[in-house]
Structure formats: C-alpha cells, structure tokens
Amino acid sequence: MEEKLTMSTREVDRLKVICTVIEGRLKWREASDQLGLSMRQIGYLCSRVGVEGNRGVIHGLRGKPSNHQLQEGVLDRALGIVQEKYADFGPTFANEKLRGKHGIILSVNALRGGMILEGLWKPKRVGKKHRAWRQRRSCVGELVQLDGSEHAWFEGRGEICALVIYIDDATSRILWGEFIPVEDTLSLLGSTKRYIERHGRPVAFYVDKDSVYKVNRVLGVEEELEGRSETLTQFRRAIEVLGIAMIFAQSPQAKGRVERSFLTHQDRLVKELRLAGISTMEAANEFLWKSYIPDHNRRYSVDPANGMDAHRALLKGQDLSRILSIRDPRVVA
C-alpha cells in the first residue's frame, strides 16, 4: 500500500530543489542560496532523501511529543500551590519559590502561561524603550545613590516604616540598607554613620531634592545680606564636612538604579517578610543582612569597569559622632 505523506508548502518546495540537486541539474551553492540553508544542510537533506525518499525533507520529530514537554499534572500541581501560597507573586518570583521550596522545576514561560489562563497574572504592556542610559561610574564608591521609601513593609502586621538604601552606581550592589522609623534628618545621619563605618567615605552621594538633602525655599533678606548663595541642610552640611560631594538628581528617572530597586523591594521584600513571619524593624534588619541583601546582590550586581575601591578612610580628627549630628547656632549673652 502506498504511503501518504502530509507536507507543507515549504517542504514541497524544498523537496523539488533537493531532487534537482540529486539529479545534477543544480549545484549545492545554488540550492543553498534558494533555500537559505548552509552547504552542510543541503548535503544532509540530499543524503536523507536518497535513503528515505520524499520523507527525508520532513522533520524527524513531527508527530512525536516534544522533548521539553511537561510531565502530566506538574503544571496543575504548580498552579495549585501558587494559588494557595503565592497568589500575588509574579511568575518569576513564584517559579523561584516552587523550585526552591517545593522541588517543582518548570520554565518561567510555562508557569506564566498557566497563571494567565487561571487569572493569577495579568500580562504587562511593554513600555517604550528608554532613549539612552547614563554610563555607570567605573569604581565602587565613586558614586552612591541614596534614597528612602516609606511603605507598609509589614502589610499591617507591624508599624509603617522606611527602608533606606545605598546603591553603588558602578555595580548596582546594595552597600548598605536598613529599616528606620521615618526618613528624617536624624535617622539618615545615623544610617550614613553606619554606612561610612562599614565602607569608608564615598566620593559622592546622588540624591533627590527632598528637603532633607536640599533647602528648597527662597533665601530670606538676612541671609542675602550675609552674602549666602544658599542655605545648607543639616545633612548636607555634615556630608560636606566629611569631604563627600552631593549631586542632586533633576528627576526620579535620573537616579533610576535606586528608584527601580524600590519597585523590586516593594514587591519581593514585602513577600519575603510575610513568608518569614517578620513584623518588626529589628527582625527585618537582621533578615536584610542575613538573607535578602546577599541574595539581591548576587542576582543583580555587575562587575565594575575598574577594580579599585574609591572609598576613602576617615581622616585623623574626623569624629563621625560629632560631625553627623544636629547643630544649631546659639548666641551667648
């Protein structure tokens, strides 16, 4: 009985060209140009057609199950766990938890497709591509992006507080981070003190124009008569005494590394704190340095262009406790 083959238009055209090559009426090079295949592929197809006949141009895996096909029930089991424990997780984060905590291994794309069908995830629209990225600084400590975010980090289980982050521009590494009660001058001075004790003095901090960092009001008459060009905040005054420059971003997008990192933290860190049952700042700060920040740096940091560390040691006589403090001038009668 004659075998019937189902072939696509592309395969029929390919068969005609290969048969012409076998008959000697077309050269390999010409067939390669017509089919968009390499010379090696043309030779392989000629060999297969010579042995198998017309079937030789049909892919060998047609009609067979994919080598990457999921085992039956794996996706359903994964979606059940996601719905029960990780309903508000994104596909990538949920896949990490399934792999690490439940031993279920599947691709992010497979999980994402299943979550979309089950209504557990809505696909996001891809925004316009940014016109250009600012070039990174070359050394660690050359520019450190500093920012804080007040957020319901404990989702109502504990007090609302702020997370302050110091991110290195050259590597995207979190050099320091901690939860503080509120993002005010005194808290930032204390946090910066702990950062400098750990790493040394960076060359510059990159900050926004929040009133903690920059005086945004117009100078008064007395200040103008004194010849001042601007008034310094307590934080900026202390930083400049330490020989650290302060660069002000003209927009949130300008210091995108720290801004984008908070989008990640407000998603992943909130969920990690929930899974760990943490609801206090003390426990959260311990979790940051024992688990979250090392894992974050491993995932997202890059190598600097220059291996030199630009942090500088404190000079003799630079007392951090005295410099990083609130100072108010007083007139003694």
| Confidence (pLDDT) at 102 | 92
> pLDDT category, 280, cuts 50, 70, 90?
very high
Q: How far apart are CA 116 and CA 106, in angstroms?
A: 16
For 187-225, how does the pLDDT look when each residue is reduced to its tens digit (9 = 90+)? 999 999 999 999 999 999 999 888 788 876 665 556 555
| Confidence (pLDDT) at 71 | 77
> pLDDT category, 1, cuts 50, 70, 90?
very low
- % of the chain exceeding 70 in pLDDT: 88
| Confidence (pLDDT) at 227 | 55
Mean pLDDT for the stretch of residues 148-168? 92
Q: Is the pLDDT of residue 103 over 80?
A: yes
Burial 126-158 (b: 16+ CB within 10 A, else e): eeeeeeeeeebbebbbbbbbbbbbebebbeeeb
Residue in this structure with the two tokens 């503080």, named with its chain if needed: 180
Residue 285 burial by Cβ neighbours in a 10 Å radius (0-12, 13-18, 19+): middle
One-letter amino acid for residue 278 of the chain: I
Q: How far apart are CA 245 and CA 292, in angstroms?
A: 29
Q: Is the pLDDT of residue 300 over 70?
A: yes
Q: Rounded to an integer, what is the distance from CA 316 to the centroid of its chain?
A: 39
Q: Is the pLDDT of residue 325 over 50?
A: yes
Q: How far apart are CA 90 and CA 80, in angstroms?
A: 15
Q: Is the pLDDT of residue 146 over 70?
A: yes
For 227-270, how does the pLDDT look when each residue is reduced to its tens digit (9 = 90+)? 555 678 889 999 999 999 999 887 666 666 777 888 889 999 99
For 9-41, how does the pLDDT look when each residue is reduced to its tens digit (9 = 90+)? 788 888 888 888 898 888 889 888 888 889 898
User: What mean pLDDT, rounded, does the chain reach?
Assistant: 86
Q: CA angle at residue 202 from 215 to 199, to 5 degrees?
A: 125
For 34-87, how does the pLDDT look when each residue is reduced to its tens digit (9 = 90+)? 888 898 988 888 988 888 888 877 776 676 666 667 777 888 899 999 999 998
| Confidence (pLDDT) at 51 | 86
| Confidence (pLDDT) at 52 | 83
Q: How far apart are CA 298 and CA 59, in angstroms?
A: 42
CB atoms under 10 Å from CB of 101, counted, come to: 12
Q: Is the pLDDT of residue 302 over 90?
A: yes
Asked if residue 162 lies in contact with residue 181, where contact means CB atoms within 8 angstroms, the answer is yes
Q: How far apart are CA 187 and CA 210, in angstroms?
A: 15
Mean pLDDT for the stretch of residues 280-295? 94
Angle between helices 9-22 and 39-52 (to 10 degrees): 90
